[in-house]
Structure 1
Amino acid sequence: MDQCWADAVFLHWRIPVATAARYLPPGVEPDEIDGSTWVGLIGFRMVGAGLGQGRPVPYLGSFTEINVRLYSRGPDGVRGVVFVTLDASRLAVVLAARAFGINYVWSRCRPTIGAAGAAGGERFGYDVRRYRGGASSSFSVRPDRTAAAADPLSLELTARYGLHTRFGGGTLYIPNTHEPWRLYPADVVHLRDDLIAAAGFEVSGPPESVLFSPGVQTQFGRPGVPAPGLRRRAVPGAGKTLDGGSMRA
């Protein structure tokens, strides 16, 4: 499936490894970055999603998503993410994703974007409220586009080329490919969040890592079952990489 992830906001906090481990599928371990594992609150606009390299799916192919995610390493050594929750504004998308064990939640989601010339300057953010339970989140950031965020922490928190998810009592790995994110450091303009606590995590203070990206074009591959025997292979196209450990279809 081809899709564009646009106007991405990344907020990250450190959490204990033991806490993260409780939420991972069988055989998957927390991936430590800069001496810790992390929980992320990420918002973006899904634009023009379509099957394969075909035309985007009308209406269903574009929506807003906010997710709470962890960082994972499979039994084959392949690194990825685990989505604890994903809030999306399209009910059909939510139901389809749940068929693969991905914990989508139907919510009212919208982007909040301020132009560079507006009062307060350029800013990007997201508002979400769940239809059931009432958990909500509202956050926005002001990016600094004068310098790229190219430090190791920023790159490792975003350069993820697949996800691990529970399925049928086991674990699936779903790969994806995309160009490296164009990342910029950002300042939090405002943050009020219930989603991380609703997912079961306790964080305090402002996020340690705050990033913005205008977006990337990405393509998901065929799901498989992780198996021992890491191999990393290049994907045609400059800058594209795929953690492609041995898989059993």
Structure 2
Amino acid sequence: MPDQDVAVAVSLQRWEDLTFLHWPAPPAQVQRLLPPGLWVDTYDGQAWVGVTPFLMRDVRAPGLPAVPHLSTFPEVNLRTYVRTADGTTGLWFFSLDCPRIPVVGALRTIGAPYRWASVEMRSEPGRAAYRSRRRADGARMRAAVIIGAPFQPGPFEDYLTGRWSAFTRRAGLLWRVPVEHEPWPLRTATARADAGDLFEAAGLARPAGRPLAHFSTGVSVRIGPPRPA
């Protein structure tokens, strides 16, 4: 279920034309990259690492208008699924690639691992394509997606997509960022993707084979203030 504790939002935004690309990974390989206080959250004993390219639209503070150009941009995230000692589940981001350097600079101050990158995406009925390249280390990602029919997600799809917290580490502390949005309207999808550079840059083994893919037209999002986890 969506998070219910975003009583006061610090950011409003839309996440649109998002593709979930997932590969399985050994839990021990993922766990060694997590900070103290987080444990890998598995499904049937298997860890999963996801690449999520999408469009961030109209990012703004409540009560303020979106800023042209700065508030809408494509982004590519590398993430996995975690839990805390009290059972709170959420996301741990290995990297977030973004083409807006003011956004990168601002969000790195709260511990989010943003990277300045060129990011391109194209979406049309039945298809989507994404490409990114980091400015600093040249790590690349590209994906071509064929979009299928809507479907009702089951427990596994909920595990992969229904996350209402993100965690960051700053000043030696673990922080939880609450997230609120409606359940993802999911579609089936198939994808050809090369994301190995992102995995290797994060300290993960390059993924093998085609990813498990799902597509969503998007959701409206409320982000709450970070709090100690």
CA distance in 2, matches of 1:133, 1:2: 31
SS in structure 2 at match of 1:42: strand
Q: Is the 8 A contact 2:186 2:214 kept in 1?
A: yes
- Normalised to the residue count of structure 1, the TM-score between the two structures is 0.84
Residue of structure 1 equivalent to 2:183: 180
Residue 144 of structure 1 aligns to a residue whose secondary structure is strand
Counterpart of 1:37 in structure 2 is: 47
Relative contact order (C-alpha < 8 Å, sep 6+): which is higher?
2
Match of 2:35, SS? coil
Mapped partners of 2:175, 2:133: distance in 1? 29
Contact kept in structure 2, 1:112 and 1:127, CA below 8 Å: no
Task: Output aligned runs, 1:157-168, within 5 Å.
Answer: 157-168=160-171
- Please state how far the C-alpha of 1:67 moved relative to its aligned partner: 0.7
Mapped to 1, the partners of 2:165 and 2:224 lie a distance apart of 9
Q: What is residue 4 of structure 1 aligned with on the other side?
A: 14
RMSD of equivalent CA atoms: 1.3
> 1:160-201 deviations in whole A, cap 9, x for unaligned?
01101111112000001000000111011x322221222221
Residue in 2 that maps onto 1:138: 142
Q: Which of 24, 29, 36 is residue 34 of structure 2 equivalent to?
A: 24
SS at match of 2:184: coil
Q: Whole-Å Cα distance in 2 between the matches of residues 22 and 166 of structure 1?
A: 15
For residue 149 of structure 1, report the CA deviation from its aligned partner: 4.6
Hey, what does 1:199 align to over in structure 2?
202
Aligned counterpart, 2:68: 58
8 Å Cα contact 1:94-1:105 kept in structure 2: yes
The residue matched to 2:76 in structure 1 has which SS?
Answer: strand
Distance, in Å, in 1 between the alignment partners of 2:27 and 2:84 is 15
User: Retained in 2: the 8 A contact 1:41–1:67?
Assistant: yes
Is the CA contact 2:92–2:167 (under 8 Å) kept in the aligned structure 1? yes
**Quick one: structure 1 residues 91 and 72, their matched pair in 2 at CA, closer, same or farther if it must change by over 3 Å?**
same
Shift of 1:5: 0.3
Aligned pairs for 1:221-240 (under 5 A) are 221-226=224-229
CA displacement, residues 61-120 of structure 1 (integer Å, 9 cap, x when unaligned): 11111010010102321110000011001000001111011110000001122x33xxxx
Q: Does 1:213 align with 2:216?
A: yes
**Aligned equivalent of 2:8:** none
The structure 2 residue matched to 1:80, chosen from 71, 86, 90, is 90
Residues in 1 aligned to 2:130 and 2:217: alpha-carbon distance in whole angstroms: 14
Instruction: Please list every run of 5 or more consecutive structure 1 residues that lacks an aligned counterpart in the other structure.
Output: 117-121, 227-249
Q: SS of 2:159's equivalent? A: helix
| Partners of 2:161 and 2:63 in 1: CA distance | 24
Structure 2: runs of 5 or more not aligned? 1-10
What percentage of aligned pairs have identical amino acids? 36
**Given that residues 33 and 203 in structure 2 are in contact (C-alpha distance below 8 angstroms), is that contact kept between their aligned partners in structure 1?**
no
Question: What number of residue pairs does the alignment pair up?
Answer: 217
Describe the SS at the equivalent of 2:177.
Answer: strand
